[in-house]
């Protein structure tokens, strides 16, 4: 793919007679794959390709010797290759001038382009490839199709956001082997420069010299040897590709890697580099740097990341700042910035860090604890909810920003739910949504779900639940919205839908005693009653303090149980296959079933195929005959 020019060169060289060819390029450029293509071309041209340097018999003008990885040949094998007088097909990461092959066609492998990268991803993963995704994969792999194929073998999610997280931690065996081989053939200075560049990413000569601890002439000579070995490129000085750079870092001892990151942070700070660049090196250190300038730089970098829409990077910078020496002013600024990420960007808090920031965070601390009330690690920090006397007025006067936005919205909404005044939320929702930012809107979504449930609009409740399910289930708004969805499902006679979303969110077991979870327990008890699970309903009703539901559950337990008779075919299915068959019998399409379970359409098709095989049918229309209602 993307090698049409190279294949044309090989075809011209081999179709007119046996002529030697040398395929050369860097690691992962697809030399072995192209060598296999060349062997096929040779066969179609009436030639006889023979792989490996072994004793050859019957060599004639139609014999072609095929040798891969020629750079790994030992002295004896290299001598045997030099004495071979027939045509050869060679591939390797080497300079063709160093090979004793005369009048050979040279086929250099250059990086493939964005279109070829996109087509490769499309074929391997069967997904639509955006220009941003293709550009990201092209930059990481350096246009090496072998490296990209290795990446697609190990990743399960090929979205841009997932790959940005995965790329730095991927350990690709192909590149790790290349790094180990380079250590065997390069001198100590070249290895040191390669490791320094892998840590720096890219650098000017003076920065490289200062971090590597060597003079400019010595560092430049070592860098030139890296360029000759196809491991580095100039303009600016850097390791050839990000993938190879990560491989160099993975092969370093952790202590050496952190030492270089610490040196890089000090050098770049002294040279007044961008706070984000300096912070990247500080964050990479497991131990604190311990300098007075570190925390302010990390806070500044977090502000830059936050403004650029990178909340995860901002959180990493702020967490690193908490390890460093802090003045009272910086401690307060870091605590407020971290709380803002928790409340507006959905970054999960860590209980230990949050408790240490309690004094500095003030009212922000209470807001974070209320927002993340389903996190059991924060239970000891949460207080009882205080519902305002006039919740409608609180919603109308909701502040634009600050630590009281989420508490005011959540507690006023709770007050409206207790009064049965959910319609007020729908009336105020348009103007409230303009004021709210990021994850703050999730609380409004949960309250809207209760209002739509009161109006009997199950379709709108389901739509909002799909949106809200993207947030963390540790947040109180998700539990509150899930309670509204379960209530709506029970109201319309679809308790199975409610059970599916609870399984997806992890709300099936014990829940912390937060007020949002108490509402969810009450509605989950109603769901269990609708499903005929009276014992589970009783347990949830007692924990929620719902006396009426508990009495209904006890009455259901006292009644004699009549287990419905099901056909023998049902016993052959797993619980998940049974749920899929039930939905198929209700007329749901494979696409709709996949969306409900959060899987691919292909996964549903595979489940149904296994069901057909188990019960001895071949088509979907036969399900109703095997599984009668």
pLDDT of residue 73: 83
CATH code of the domain containing 600: 1.10.10.10
Q: Taking 70 as the threshold, does the pLDDT of residue 17 lie above it?
A: no
Joined tokens for residue 584: 């198929």
Burial of 82 (0-12, 13-18, 19+ CB in 10 A): exposed
Residue with the bigger pLDDT between 566 and 286: it is 286
- Between 90-94, 97-101, 369-373, 516-520, the lowest mean confidence (pLDDT) is in 97-101
pLDDT of residue 260: 94
Pair 439, 467: CB distance under 8 Å: no
Q: Tell me, yes or no, whether 476 and 604 share the same domain.
A: no
Confidence label for 230 from pLDDT (cuts 50, 70 and 90):
confident
pLDDT tens-digit readout, 466-496: 999 999 999 999 999 999 999 999 999 888 8
pLDDT of residue 456: 92
Joined tokens for residue 587: 């007329």
What pTM does this model have? 0.75
Give, rounded to a whole angstrom, the gap between the first and last alpha carbons of the chain. 52
143 within some domain: yes
130/168 Cα distance (integer angstroms): 21
How many structural domains is the chain composed of? 4
pLDDT of residue 208: 93
Q: Which residues are 218's β-sheet partners?
A: none
302 within some domain: no
Q: Which residues are 91's β-sheet partners?
A: 23
Q: Does 564 sit behind a cis peptide bond, omega within 30 degrees of 0 on the bond before it?
A: no
pLDDT tens-digit readout, 78-93: 888 887 777 888 888 8
pLDDT of residue 74: 83
71 within some domain: yes
377 within some domain: no
pLDDT of residue 475: 92
- Length in residues, the chain: 629
Percent of the chain at pLDDT above 90? 39
Q: Taking 90 as the threshold, does the pLDDT of residue 177 lie above it?
A: no
pLDDT of residue 381: 66
597 within some domain: yes
Q: Taking 70 as the threshold, does the pLDDT of residue 358 lie above it?
A: yes
531 within some domain: yes
Q: Tell me, yes or no, whether 507 and 613 share the same domain.
A: no
pLDDT of residue 275: 93
371/339 Cα distance (integer angstroms): 11
pLDDT of residue 383: 66
Number of helices (H), then strands (E), in the chain: 34, 8
296/239 Cα distance (integer angstroms): 31
| Backbone φ/ψ region at 354: left (φ over 0), alpha (ψ -120 to 50), beta | alpha
Query: Which of residues 504, 536, 558 is at a domain's end?
Result: 558
| Backbone φ/ψ region at 444: left (φ over 0), alpha (ψ -120 to 50), beta | alpha
| Mode of pairing for the β-strands spanning 105-108 and 48-51 | unpaired
158/136 Cα distance (integer angstroms): 11
Joined tokens for residue 625: 């005959």
Q: Tell me, yes or no, whether 481 and 590 share the same domain.
A: no
Q: Tell me, yes or no, whether 39 and 160 share the same domain.
A: no
CATH code of the domain containing 414: 1.25.40
Mark out the alpha helices in 142-274 (DSSP H runs): 145-154, 160-166, 173-185, 188-200, 205-212, 216-228, 242-250, 254-270
pLDDT tens-digit readout, 120-147: 998 888 888 899 999 999 999 998 999 9
Mean pLDDT of 596-608: 87
Query: Which of residues 89, 108, 127 is at a domain's end?
Result: 108
Joined tokens for residue 69: 């990885």
Q: Tell me, yes or no, whether 78 and 125 share the same domain.
A: no
pLDDT of residue 355: 84
Q: Tell me, yes or no, whether 430 and 464 share the same domain.
A: yes
274 within some domain: no
Mean pLDDT of 167-191: 88
pLDDT of residue 126: 82
Mean pLDDT for all residues in the chain: 87
DSSP state at residue 344:
H
Confidence label for 56 from pLDDT (cuts 50, 70 and 90):
low
Q: Which residues are 23's β-sheet partners?
A: 91, 107
Query: What is the 3 state secondary structure string of 110-131?
Result: CCCCHHHHHHHHHHHHCCCCCH
Percent of the chain at pLDDT above 70? 96
pLDDT of residue 380: 66
Provide the domain limits for residue 601: 568-626
Q: Tell me, yes or no, whether 147 and 31 share the same domain.
A: no
Joined tokens for residue 61: 């003008």
Q: Taking 60 as the threshold, does the pLDDT of residue 561 lie above it?
A: no
449/600 Cα distance (integer angstroms): 27
Q: Tell me, yes or no, whether 544 and 581 share the same domain.
A: no
Element (H, E) at 445: helix 440-454
Burial of 389 (0-12, 13-18, 19+ CB in 10 A): exposed
Joined tokens for residue 523: 């509605």
pLDDT tens-digit readout, 401-413: 888 999 999 999 8
Mean pLDDT of 540-554: 92
CATH code of the domain containing 97: 3.40.50.300
580/568 Cα distance (integer angstroms): 17
pLDDT of residue 82: 80
Confidence label for 268 from pLDDT (cuts 50, 70 and 90):
very high
Q: Taking 60 as the threshold, does the pLDDT of residue 563 lie above it?
A: no
Pair 484, 414: CB distance under 8 Å: no
For 225, residues 6+ apart whose C-beta sits below 8 A from its C-beta are 186, 187, 190
Residue at token pair 């500044």: 300
Residue at token pair 């936050």: 306
Estimate the share of the chain in helix, then strand, then coil, as percent rounded to the nearest 5: 65, 5, 30
pLDDT of residue 13: 83
| Among the listed residues 190, 142, 192, the one whose alpha carbon sits nearest the alpha carbon of residue 167 | 142
Pair 305, 311: CB distance under 8 Å: yes
Q: Tell me, yes or no, whether 518 and 421 share the same domain.
A: yes
378 within some domain: no
pLDDT of residue 54: 65
Confidence label for 560 from pLDDT (cuts 50, 70 and 90):
low
For 516, residues 6+ apart whose C-beta sits below 8 A from its C-beta are 373, 374, 476, 477, 479, 480, 483
Q: Tell me, yes or no, whether 464 and 610 share the same domain.
A: no
- Between 12-21, 292-301, 316-325, 401-410, the lowest mean confidence (pLDDT) is in 12-21
Q: Taking 80 as the threshold, does the pLDDT of residue 506 lie above it?
A: yes
Burial of 58 (0-12, 13-18, 19+ CB in 10 A): exposed
Q: Tell me, yes or no, whether 489 and 572 share the same domain.
A: no
87/31 Cα distance (integer angstroms): 18
Query: Which of residues 538, 558, 578 is at a domain's end?
Result: 558
Q: Tell me, yes or no, whether 31 and 164 share the same domain.
A: no
């Amino acid at each position: 793919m993307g090698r049409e020019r190279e294949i044309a060169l090989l075809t011209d060289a081999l179709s007119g007679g046996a002529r030697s060819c040398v395929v050369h390029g860097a690691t992962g450029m697809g030399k072995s794959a192209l060598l296999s293509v060349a062997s096929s071309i040779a066969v179609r041209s009436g030639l006889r390709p023979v792989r490996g340097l072994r004793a050859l018999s019957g060599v004639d003008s139609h014999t072609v010797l095929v040798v891969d990885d020629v750079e790994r040949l030992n002295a004896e094998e290299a001598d045997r290759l030099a004495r071979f007088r027939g045509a050869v097909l060679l591939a390797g990461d080497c300079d063709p001038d160093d090979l004793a092959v005369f009048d050979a066609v040279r086929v250099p492998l250059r990086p493939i382009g964005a279109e070829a990268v996109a087509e490769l991803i499309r074929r391997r993963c069967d997904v639509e490839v955006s220009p941003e995704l293709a550009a990201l994969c092209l930059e990481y792999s350096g246009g090496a199709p072998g490296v990209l194929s290795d990446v697609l073998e190990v990743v399960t999610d090929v979205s841009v956001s997932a790959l940005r997280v995965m790329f730095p931690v991927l350990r690709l065996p192909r590149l790790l082997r290349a790094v180990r081989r380079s250590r065997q053939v390069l001198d100590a200075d070249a290895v040191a420069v390669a490791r320094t560049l892998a840590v720096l990413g890219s650098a000017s000569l003076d920065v490289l010299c200062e971090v590597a601890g060597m003079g400019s002439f010595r560092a430049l000579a070592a860098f030139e040897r890296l360029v000759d070995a196809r491991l580095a490129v100039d303009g600016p000085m850097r390791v050839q590709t990000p993938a190879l750079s990560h491989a160099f870092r993975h092969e370093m001892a952790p202590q050496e890697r952190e030492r270089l990151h610490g040196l890089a942070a000090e050098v770049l700070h002294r040279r007044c580099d961008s706070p984000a660049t300096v912070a990247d090196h500080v964050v990479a250190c497991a131990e604190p740097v311990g300098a007075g300038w570190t925390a302010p730089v990390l806070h500044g970098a977090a502000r830059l990341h936050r403004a650029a829409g990178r909340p995860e990077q901002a959180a990493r910078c702020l967490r690193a700042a908490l390890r460093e020496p802090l003045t009272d002013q910086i401690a307060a600024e870091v605590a407020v910035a971290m709380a803002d990420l928790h409340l507006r960007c959905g970054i999960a808090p860590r209980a230990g860090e949050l408790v240490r920031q309690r004094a500095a965070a003030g009212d922000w601390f209470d807001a974070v604890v209320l927002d993340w009330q389903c996190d059991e690690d924060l239970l000891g920090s949460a207080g009882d909810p205080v519902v305002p006397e006039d919740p409608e007025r609180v919603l109308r006067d909701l502040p634009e920003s600050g630590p009281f936005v989420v508490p005011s919205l959540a507690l006023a909404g709770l007050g409206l739910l207790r009064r049965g005044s959910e319609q007020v939320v729908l009336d105020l929702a348009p103007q409230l949504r303009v004021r709210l930012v990021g994850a703050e809107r999730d609380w409004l979504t949960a309250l809207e779900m209760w209002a739509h449930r009161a109006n009997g609009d199950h379709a709108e409740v389901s739509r909002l639940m799909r949106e809200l399910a993207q947030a963390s289930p540790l947040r109180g708004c998700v539990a509150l919205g899930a309670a509204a969805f379960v209530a709506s499902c029970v109201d319309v006679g679809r308790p199975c839908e409610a059970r599916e979303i609870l399984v997806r969110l992890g709300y099936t077991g014990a829940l912390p005693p937060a007020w949002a979870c108490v509402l969810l327990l009450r509605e989950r008890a109603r769901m269990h009653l609708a499903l005929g699970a009276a014992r589970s309903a009783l347990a949830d009703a007692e924990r929620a303090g719902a006396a009426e539901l508990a009495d209904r559950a006890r009455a259901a337990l006292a009644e004699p149980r009549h287990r419905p008779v099901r056909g023998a075919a049902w016993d052959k299915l797993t619980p998940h296959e049974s749920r899929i068959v039930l939905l198929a019998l209700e007329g749901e399409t494979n696409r709709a079933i996949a969306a409900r379970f959060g899987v691919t359409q292909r996964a549903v098709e595979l489940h149904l195929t296994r069901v057909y095989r188990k019960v001895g049918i071949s088509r979907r229309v036969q399900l109703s005959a095997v599984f009668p209602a």
